[in-house]
Structure formats: structure tokens, C-alpha cells
Chain A
Amino acid sequence: MNQPTDFLYIAIILISIGIYGLVVKRNALRLIFSIELIANAVNLVLIAFSRMLPSPQGQVFVLFSIAISAAEVAVGLGIIIIAYRFYKDIDITEYKNLKN
């Protein structure tokens, strides 16, 4: 039988991959991939503790979290599409004019 720490280690590995992607990648879509990986790792931790306690409220929180990250992805992809229309590129180092 698995222990709760096994799932926590998996979540830590996923968060590390997400941090690596956020630091290294300059492609706007890859940044969204990294954010999604981190959000999923957090959901995994919540479900693992909800199974351990046991309490159904962890599952309710995960439902809310999934809905919020779906909204975040919708807005993020909309912003990427506009930025692509302005700059003809999705590389975030090209978005220098956003500073002004």
C-alpha cells in the first residue's frame, strides 16, 4: 500500500519541473504548460491529504482549484493570441514594448 509521502514526492518532482520550465523557457505557451504542471501538483497534494485525513473538503477544494485554473488558461491563451497579433511571435523576450 502507498503512503501519503509517495504522492508528496511526486508533487515535489512536478513542481521542480514547473520551476525549471518557468526559468528556462521563453516561449509563452511553454510558460502556461509550466503553470499547469505546478497547479496539478498542488491538486495532487490536496487529494492525498483528503484521502489520509479522511475529509471530503479536500476534494471540494480541488474542484474549485480546477475551475479556477481553467479560467486562468482561457485568459492566458487570449492574451497570447493578442500578443501574437501584435508581435508575430510568441517569444516573451520580444514583448519589450509591454513595459511602457
Chain B
Amino acid sequence: MGLQFYVQNALGGLAYGSLLFLIASGLTLIFGLMRIINLAQTAFYLLGAYVGLTLVAHGTNFWLASVAGGAVTMVLGLAVYSAFLHRYHADHLTSLLLTLGFALILDDGVLAVWGGDPRSIAPPPGLAGSIHIGTLVFPEYWLAVIAISFTIAAVLFFALQRTMLGVMIRASVDDEEMARGLGVDVNRAFFVVFAAGAFIAGLGGLLGGPITSAYPGLDGEITPLAFAVVIVGGMGSLTGALVGSLLIGLVNAFGKAMFPELSYFTIFVPVALIMAFRPQGLFGRKL
């Protein structure tokens, strides 16, 4: 195993981890704030991918189509939230079953509308090539995905740490009742966070398409990884989601390359260890 092996897998792992962050950031904030375990978060990603690839097939610009995928997903997510989910904050079992139901409906909906054949998605023109440095090869699109995800992470961190809305959200994660007692309309914060989570996951769908491609059932494959990220990073922590995503992405890439027959094992051993010795996750608050 030469240098190329490590570079290739490191970069692939970081790119995949970046995509996981787009899903897990919403997952962890939605859980931290509303105590809703949103099993439909990866279905949002899948829906975004299909909406995006359809628009691209009709000649829409790749980036515009990604944003449109995010927007469609956000509208659908908010409809589900407003009509059903908002009643079940902190009701883990009900919200879990509800979001699982919506994940299945979305999955079957995708199958009905787009069929069951996997769709490969080409990177946007201009990013389809590779950068060669000596004997090392870096696919441009992977680098682009990493850059985009880090930019989105930076925007999220800024919003959470430097704006009044962020202060309201962090306060509500700490102590929702007290935040209400100080005049915070916590329901509005919930709405904004759910919208942002759905939008970013949907946006990630087409962005990740050239790496994950799109097919019914993809969401079910990503869900365990996204939850591993949230557990490793700590529920409700954006920093945890970022670090956890990159860690899980790297472990996933190297695990699959080195022990392909044990790929789930290599991911869930660290998860099990974290749960045993640091149940709040790397950046979570004490349980």
C-alpha cells in the first residue's frame, strides 16, 4: 500500500465525511433543540438528489439545481414538521416512528417517480478532472465537495455563535423553558432549525451525487453512518457533528479499503467504545 492508497482514501474519506456533515449537522441540531430523532433526514438527502438530477437533465445549472433540491426538500420537510412533528417534541418513540414512516414514504415515492435504477450523477463541467501532483491523483470534485461543506459549516458556526438567532437557539438547547420565560419564541427557533436542517440535507443530495450516486435505499445506507456521527460527536453539538463526520468518513473509507468484509464493524467499534466510555460523545454535554 503506497502513498497513493493513503492519500486516495484520506481524501475520499474526507469528501464522504463532508457529505455526512451536511446530513448530520441538521440531525444533531434538530435533536439538540427539539429532541426529535429525525430518521427522514437521509431521505431528505435522497429527495434532494433526485430533484437535482432531474433539473440537471432538463438543462439546469448543477449548482442551481442543488439549491433547488434543497429548497424543495425544505418545503416538504416544513410541511411534515408543521402538520405532524411539532406536536411530538421530546416524545422519542412517536417522533421516531413518525419520521421512519416518512422516510419509507419518501423512499417509495422516489421509487414510484424515478424508478429503481441507480442514477449516476456527473460532476459539474470544469470539476470532472483530477489534479496530479507527482504520482498522486486528486479528483477535483472531491476537493470541491470538501470546500463547499466547510463553507457551509463556517456559515452555520457563524450563525450559531455570532447572531442573536444563534444565541436564542443555543439558549433553547440549554434550557428551553427558561428561554421561553425570557421572551424567546422557541417555536420559531424550532421552525428555523428544522428548515435549515432539511435544506442543507436536500442541498447535499445533488452535491453528493457524483460520489454516492442516487438510488432508492441509499438513504437507509447512510442513516447508520449519520447516527454514528451524531453519537460520536455528541448530540446537539455542531462542532461534534463536524469532527464526527470527518472521523466517521475516514474510518469508513479506510475500513472499506483495508477490511472490506468488516466495514460496519470498523465503524461501530469506535461508536460502541464512545458509548461505553463517553456516552455524551466527544463534544456533547454531560448526560
B is a partner of A: no
